[in-house]
């Protein structure tokens, strides 16, 4: 089997109902339980038609899950992940998690306060504390907000949507658009959890694979989805009456309105909404031109913007490793794995082909590897990310499809097997920040390792360093003790 068709072969294999665990060679492949095509939920914010239930698991699998969950807890508690650490950060005015107010002072509905505390949040982060009063003000105000990765933007806009919804009306009132399928599912999950004590509010997923009967009108007040399906539901299929939408959220807004991103679909949805509709744009990055464009399309926005030097997070330590070929990078990666214990890692490749190749090689070396790239079936993508979240695979090899928004707190290491470049080969600084931001969530420590494969790639790394004015050190054997503490 040629290596280029490896990813495709995996797809075919999995489509034939084999477990994703085929990629593991250390552990016995597991059956069932993770092949659901959408999030499971016991929460009261009912998910609707497309968000199918997980299959029943058998007893063995339940045991296994309990053991796994315990293990995950143990793993997590080894990360610098204790509540004290977060509390310290939330009292430090220089931290993006700093807050002076409590959630009570943000005047949330009691049901939502219950939801927030139920998720284990004690205090708001800086973005939550700043953005919520703007979003909840009457009359509604538009907002373009930037805040570092992992600082709680999701909760901020989810609370805004849940606050504005009128549960007495059974039609869509809030639309939330995410760039990827996985991110839409993840955000939906947060809506379900936050709204757990607000059962009148319902949620539906406008994502590929969620086929509704033609001619129906949605009853759910909140619609979360990806741009293509959302647009179809507003136009061709008319499941949603855009004129009734009160809140429109664009998560990862810069990529949603960038010409290289989903601009067309996002703008077309936006044009159908009433003038009074509140527009909320969130991201960790807004390149200057995109920032200007955002201000042109959003009338009279409130603005929360970071200074360049605030964009990077000090809790994520960045290194590079010098190599001269793909094979050397692979060897270096194996050496790192040989030298330190890594809780969970995400490895980013530039192309699907490299991702497929690398996953295959790592798997042959005995690692439990998951592969996620854009050409896979959505059900498989959902299953892969869920297994990774559950810690069933410790390594996720992926492409930029997972660069943004994905929140898996056990991820202690991000590896750029290929540095992020745009289609002209220039450094993609925004993607760099998003990728490394898959670790170091909400104040935890994280490690980013960049594999450099020659002079050209060294120049790209230098330009990234200069842009953020951040030193990226060469990884040295002397650093191993230090990085082990972060990674394990
Ligand atoms: N106030 C809070 N207290 C404790 N944990 C929180 C709080 N707000 C958010 N979190 C947690 O922080 C993590 C990161 O949040 P979230 O995914 O919203 O980050 P983000 O700002 O959207 O990052 P990205 O730019 O990567 O999308 C989540 O696991 C979330 O549960
Ligand atoms: Mg996010």
DSSP string, 210-256: -PPPTT-----SEEEE-HHHHHHHHTTS--S-GGG--EEEETTHHHH
- Go through 12-28 and write b for each residue having 16 or more CB atoms within 10 A of its CB, e for each that does not: eebeeeebbbebbeeee
Q: What is the pLDDT along the chain (488 residues), one digit of tens a residue?
A: 332 333 343 233 333 322 222 222 223 333 333 323 333 333 333 334 333 333 333 334 444 555 554 444 444 444 434 556 777 777 788 889 888 789 999 989 999 999 999 999 999 999 999 999 999 999 999 999 999 999 999 999 999 999 999 999 999 999 999 999 999 999 999 999 999 999 999 999 999 989 999 999 999 999 999 999 999 999 999 999 999 999 999 999 999 999 888 999 999 999 999 999 999 999 999 999 999 999 999 999 999 999 999 999 999 999 999 999 999 999 999 999 988 889 999 999 999 999 999 999 999 999 999 999 999 998 899 999 999 999 999 999 999 999 999 999 999 999 999 999 999 999 999 999 999 999 999 999 999 999 999 999 999 999 999 999 999 999 988 888 888 889 98
CB 43 within 8 A of CB 188: no
CATH number of 84-306: 3.40.50.300
Angle, CA 378 vertex, CA 52 and CA 25 arms, to 5°: 105
Q: Which atom of ligand 1 is nearest to the CA of 186?
A: 17
- Residue 319 — φ and ψ, nearest 5°? -135, 165
Q: Cβ(115) to ligand 1 under 6 A?
A: no
What CA–CA distance (Å, rounded) separates 232 from 82? Answer: 44
Which element (helix H / strand E) includes 312?
none
Tell me, in angstroms, the distance from the centre of ligand 1 to residue 195's CA. Answer: 16
The predicted structure's pLDDT at residue 149: 97
In this predicted structure, what is the pLDDT of residue 41?
32
- Same topology between domain 84-306 and domain 316-487: yes
Ligand 2 mean position to 153 CA, how many Å?
A: 6
Tell me the C-alpha distance between 404 and 180, whole Å.
9
- Of the candidates 297, 304, 300, which has an alpha carbon nearest to the alpha carbon of residue 282? 304
- The string over 243-259, giving b where at least 16 C-beta atoms fall within 10 Å of a residue's C-beta and e elsewhere, is eebbbbbbbbbbbbbbe
**CATH number of the domain located at residue range(s) 316-487 in this protein:** 3.40.50.300
Torsion sign (Cα): 347, 353, 356, 361: negative
Atom of ligand 1 nearest to the CA of 434: 26
- Say what the pLDDT of residue 84 is: 66
Residue 252 Cα: closest atom of ligand 1: 27
Distance 188 CA to ligand 2 centre (A): 12
CA distance 119 to 193: 7
Residues in CB range of 487: below 8 A, 6 or more apart:
340, 341, 342, 343, 345, 412, 413, 447
Ligand 1 atom with minimal separation from the 155 CA: 18
* Atom of ligand 1 at shortest range from CA of 283: 25
pLDDT computed for residue 83 by the predictor = 57
Could you tell which of 102, 155, 283, 439 is best to mutate to test the pocket of ligand 1, judged by most ligand atoms within 8 Å of the CB?
A: 155
Sheet with 203-206, strands from edge to edge, namely 203-206, 222-225, 174-177, 247-250, 278-283, 143-146, 302-304
**437 within ligand 1 shell (Cβ under 6 A):** yes
Q: How far is the CA of 25 from the centre of ligand 2 (A)?
A: 33
Of 119, 442, 443, 448, the one to substitute when testing ligand 1's pocket (max ligand atoms within 8 A of C-beta) is: 442
**pLDDT value for 103:** 94
> Which pLDDT score is estimated for 67?
52
Domain residue extents for the chain: 84-306, 316-487
- List of residues 6+ apart from 53 with CB closer than 8 A: 36, 40
Q: Which two tokens stand for residue 101?
A: 């107010």
State whether the beta carbon of 125 lies less than 6 angstroms from ligand 1: yes
Tell whether ligand 1 has an atom less than 6 A from the beta carbon of residue 301: no
Q: Which residue among 407, 410, 432, 436 is best mutated to probe the pocket of ligand 1, counting the most ligand atoms within 8 A of its Cβ?
A: 407
Centroid of ligand 1 to alpha carbon of 407 (angstroms):
8
């Amino acid at each position: 089997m040629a290596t280029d068709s490896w990813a495709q072969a995996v797809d075919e294999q999995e489509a034939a109902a084999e477990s994703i665990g085929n990629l593991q060679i250390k552990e016995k492949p597991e059956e069932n339980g993770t092949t659901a095509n959408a999030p499971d939920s016991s929460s009261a914010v009912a998910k609707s038609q497309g968000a199918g239930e997980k299959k029943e698991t058998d007893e063995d699998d339940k045991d296994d899950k309990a053991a796994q969950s315990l293990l995950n807890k143990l793993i997590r508690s080894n990360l610098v992940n204790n509540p004290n650490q977060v509390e310290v950060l939330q009292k430090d005015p220089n931290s993006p998690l700093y807050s002076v107010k409590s959630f009570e002072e943000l005047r949330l509905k009691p049901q939502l306060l219950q939801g927030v505390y139920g998720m284990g949040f004690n205090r708001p982060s800086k973005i939550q504390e700043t953005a919520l009063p703007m979003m909840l003000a009457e009359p509604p105000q538009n907002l373009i907000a930037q805040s570092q990765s992992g600082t709680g933007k999701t909760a901020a806009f989810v609370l805004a949507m849940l606050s504005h919804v009128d549960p007495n009306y059974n039609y869509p009132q809030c639309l939330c658009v995410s760039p990827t399928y996985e991110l839409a599912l993840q955000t939906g999950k947060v809506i379900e959890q936050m709204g757990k004590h607000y059962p009148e509010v319902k949620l539906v997923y406008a994502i590929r694979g969620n086929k509704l009967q033609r001619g129906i009108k949605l009853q759910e007040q909140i619609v979360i989805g990806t741009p293509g399906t959302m647009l179809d539901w507003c136009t061709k299929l008319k499941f949603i009456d855009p004129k009734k939408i009160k809140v429109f959220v664009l998560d990862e807004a810069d990529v949603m309105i960038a010409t290289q991103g989903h601009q067309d679909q996002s703008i077309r949805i936006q044009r159908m909404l009433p003038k009074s509709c509140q527009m909320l744009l969130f991201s960790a990055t807004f390149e200057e031109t995109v920032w200007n464009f955002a201000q042109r399309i959003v009338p009279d926005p409130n603005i929360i913007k970071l200074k360049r030097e605030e964009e990077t997070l000090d809790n994520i330590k960045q290194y590079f490793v010098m190599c001269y070929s793909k094979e050397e990078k692979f060897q270096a990666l194996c050496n790192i794995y040989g030298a330190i214990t890594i809780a969970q890692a995400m490895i980013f490749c530039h192309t699907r082909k490299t991702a497929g190749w690398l996953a295959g090689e790592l798997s042959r070396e005995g690692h439990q590897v998951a592969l996620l790239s854009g050409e896979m079936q959505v059900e498989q993508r959902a299953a892969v990310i869920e297994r990774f979240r559950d810690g069933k695979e410790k390594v996720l090899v992926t492409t930029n499809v997972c660069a943004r928004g994905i929140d898996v707190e056990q991820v202690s290491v991000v590896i750029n097997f290929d540095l992020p470049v745009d289609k002209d080969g220039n450094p993609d600084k925004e993607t760099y920040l998003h990728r490394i931001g898959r670790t170091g969530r909400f104040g935890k420590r994280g490690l980013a390792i960049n594999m450099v494969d020659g002079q050209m790639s060294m120049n790209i790394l230098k330009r990234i360093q200069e842009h953020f004015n951040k030193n990226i050190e060469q990884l040295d054997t002397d650093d191993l003790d230090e990085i082990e503490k972060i990674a394990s």
